[in-house]
Chain A
Amino acid sequence: MTPHQERTGPGAVPAQAAFLPAPEGTKKAVTDFLKTLMDQGGLDALLVPVEVPDTPFHAWVMVKKSEVLDKAHPLPPVMSVQGGRALSSLTKHGTPWLHIAAVMRPCEARAAVELAKLKQVRLDNVVLITIDCPGALPLAEYVADPEKGQERYKTVADTWHENEFLRPACARCHRFSLTGLEDGPSEGPAPDDAPASVDIHIGLLGEDQNGILLLPVTPSGAEILKKTGLEADRPTAGWESRVRDLLKKKKEKRQAAHEEFRKDITGLDRFLTVFDPCINCHNCMNVCPVCYCQQCYFDTQTQFCTSSVYMDRARKRGALRFPPDPLLFHLGRMSHMVLSCVSCGACEDACPVSIPVGKVFSWVADETQPAFGYSAGTDRGDPLPLQNFLKEEFCEIETPSACGQAQSTEVKENA
């Protein structure tokens, strides 16, 4: 590829982590850890999914009370509201004056990092905590039969991504653990200055299944862990190799799924059939964490022409579909957000007619983000591809090429 910004390479995996025994299961241990964080970690509140009483659902709640934390868990059976969106609604209009921690799935944390770059989230006073995620269930199925869903979800945590009940986005997810691990060096310690997207990571895949690992990823994360009195003395190598093994398998699975999908979708006719059932509800856009515009072009009247224009167009084409341009909505949205797509699958969950929106978008994202050496949400210090450029790059796209004419200097925009 053409010269682009050299990636500093995230993937700072701390060599040692704190260990919390889990005699009553990992769920209880995670809850205990959250309580310890609140009591001794110097935090004022936690933003975490909490069980809504008498319903099978979780909601994002900012919690201070310890008894509410009993019902909190960062891995609810379904992802009803994307955590990045929840954090955005909390911090969009100013840095929180409380020192809070947001405990989320890795895809949600990646969305939060992307939103921070888009000035929709402020991470100044927020500690991001992620957890090894076994995946979630399809929202529609869970809503139809929550009891069955809860039964199914119990099996999900045991099988780690080999579960038939997982939603498609999770079944082919290869970024379910510490963000950056999938792109980082496979061996050897990461450089000290390697930027990370999260502060603390909760490892469930450790060698010792009778406990959870608490990885201090950033210095501020390490400081908080220190305050809680948990000694970081367990080596993380076993956890890392287990995660990497699973990552490798999942990556292959993902690539195979994309290849298969490529055959299904490429070409004009087939491409159209994928989006044909679209009912123009814009749910995919409304739930997408990185679709943040206050006023979307596709929600305005600007996109509609006068009827004479449509008559004219229909006459020339022979026929015209109404309301016009459903495909333009999807491709237009894609051109606006695909470089920030974190493959969370929220769009797919929200689609009432089961269009594999997430599949298309995450596939295009996987093909497009690497062109800029970018991986959405992985690295807080990596500027958005469209807010950054080199004077000499991508020579093949322009005529005449500007490469080789001037000394290459990097110019970064202070957005």
Chain B
Amino acid sequence: MSDAYNPRIVGFLCNWCAYTGADLAGVSRARVSSSLHAIRVMCSGRIDPLYVIMAYLKGADGVMGMGCHPGDCHYLKGNYNARRRFVMLESIFKTLGLDGKRIGLWWVSASEGKRFAQVTNEFTELMKTKGPNPFREEMFI
């Protein structure tokens, strides 16, 4: 193991796409960063913006939302709703001077195991360069 900072990333994975994609990544023995702490949700539209803020304030270095590609949602439009929620979150983060790059939304289908590994690893690398979330050490929040 290198001495590089190992970030903690919380991922909210849609049951129908990204979570199955993650499973496929495991089955096909792709290398997936161990930084990702996956939380299964039934739909990316189920990701309450509160979850993202909670993960961020409690010290997660990054928060990933993953859902089905547009048009492929199991519930027809959940991912479109998720997209608008993330737009709102990003705007709130930007306005308040928080780091909006620490949150993001990806579309990963159930068959994209490789892509799941790739985006997770890329995001982990990005968080490594960013270093720890400043809220992690903050005791008065």
A contact residues around B91 at 8 Å (CB): 364, 367-368, 371
Which of B19-27, B33-41, B131-139 contacts the other chain?
Answer: B131-139
**Contact present for A328 and B84 (CB under 8 Å):** no
Indicate which residue in A326, A332, A411 contacts B54 across the interface (CB closer than 8 Å).
A332
- What residues of B have a CB within 8 angstroms of the CB of A266 in the complex? 96-97
- A268 CA to B81 CA, complexed, in Å: 29
Interface string of A256-291 (1 = CB under 8 A from B): 000000100111100110001000000000000000
Chain A residues whose CB sits within 8 angstroms of the CB of B49 once the complex forms:
335-336
A394–B95 touching, CB < 8 Å? no
Contact across chains for B92 and A335 when beta carbons are under 8 A apart = yes
Cα(A272)–Cα(B96), bound, Å: 11
CB contacts (< 8 Å) of B98 on chain A: these are: 268, 271
B56 to chain A, nearest CB (A): 9
Beta-carbon contact of A328 and B141 below 8 Å: yes
Q: Which of B50, B54, B96, B119 has the most CB of A within 10 A?
A: B96
Does B85 reach chain A (CB closer than 8 Å)? Answer: yes
Q: Is A321 an interface residue (CB 8 A)?
A: yes
Check if B86 sits within 8 Å of A319, measured CB to CB. Answer: no
Given contacts A317-B139, A364-B96, contact A389 B119 (CB under 8 A): no
Q: Among A276, A297, A406, A413, which residue has its beta carbon within 8 angstroms of that of B71?
A: A406
B88 touches A338 (CB 8 A): yes
Across-interface contacts of B59 in A (CB, < 8 A) = 316-317
A332 touching B53 by the CB < 8 A rule?
Answer: yes
Cβ contact of B84, chosen from A319, A367, A385, cutoff 8 A: A385
Q: B96 and A389: CB pair below 8 A?
A: no
Residue A143 interfacial (CB < 8 Å) = no
Interface string of A389-410 (1 = CB under 8 A from B): 1111110011110100110000
User: CB < 8 Å: which of B84, B92, B138 contacts A338?
Assistant: B92
CB distance from B106 to the nearest CB of A (A): 5
Main secondary structure of the interface of A (DSSP, over half): helix
- Cβ distance A350 to chain B, nearest Cβ, rounded Å: 22
Interface centre among B59, B86, B94, B95 (most CB of A within 10 A): B95
Asked if residues A326 and B107 are in contact (CB atoms below 8 Å), the reply is no
The reply on B105 being an interface residue by CB < 8 A is yes
Interface size class of B (residues with CB under 8 A): 35 or more
- Residue from A317, A338, A413 within 8 A of B137 (CB atoms): A317
B107, A327: Cβ atoms closer than 8 Å: no
Using A271-B96, A331-B57, A332-B54 as known contacts, say yes or no to A391 and B88 having CB atoms under 8 A apart. Answer: no
Chain A hits for B135, CB < 8 A: 268
Given contacts A326-B141, A327-B57, A328-B141, A265 and B89 within 8 Å (CB-CB): no
* A391 and B92 within 8 A (CB): no
How far is it, in angstroms, between the C-alpha of A33 and the C-alpha of B60 when the chains are bound?
A: 59
Indicate if the CB atoms of A363 and B95 lie closer than 8 Å. Answer: yes
B50 touches A336 (CB 8 A): yes
CA of A200 to CA of B5 in the docked complex: distance in angstroms?
62
Within 98-123 of B, Cβ neighbours of A (below 8 Å) are at: 98, 104-107, 119
Is A23 an interface residue when CB atoms closer than 8 A count as contact? Answer: no
A397 touches B86 (CB 8 A): yes
Instruction: Find chain B residues with CB under 8 A from A123 CB.
Output: none
A372 at the interface (CB under 8 A from B): yes
> Which among A265, A271, A339, A402 has the greatest number of chain B C-beta atoms within 10 A?
A402
- Asked if B87 and A399 make an inter-chain contact with CB atoms under 8 angstroms apart, the answer reads no
B43, chain A: closest CB distance, angstroms: 14
Between-chain CB contacts (< 8 Å), 6 pairs: A265-B96, A272-B140, A272-B141, A328-B53, A332-B50, A372-B84
Interface residues of A (CB under 8 A from B): 262, 265-268, 271-272, 276, 297, 313, 316-321, 325-328, 331-332, 334-336, 338-339, 363-364, 367-368, 371-372, 385-386, 389-394, 397-400, 402, 405-406, 411, 413
With A386-B88, A398-B86 given, name 6 new contacts (CB 8 A).
A271-B98, A336-B49, A368-B92, A371-B91, A397-B83, A402-B71
Binding site for A on B (CB under 8 A): 49-50, 52-54, 57-59, 69-71, 77, 80-81, 83-92, 94-98, 104-107, 119, 134-141
Q: Give 9 closest A-B pairs by Cβ, nearest first.
A: A266-B97, A335-B49, A319-B139, A402-B70, A389-B80, A368-B91, A367-B95, A327-B141, A332-B50
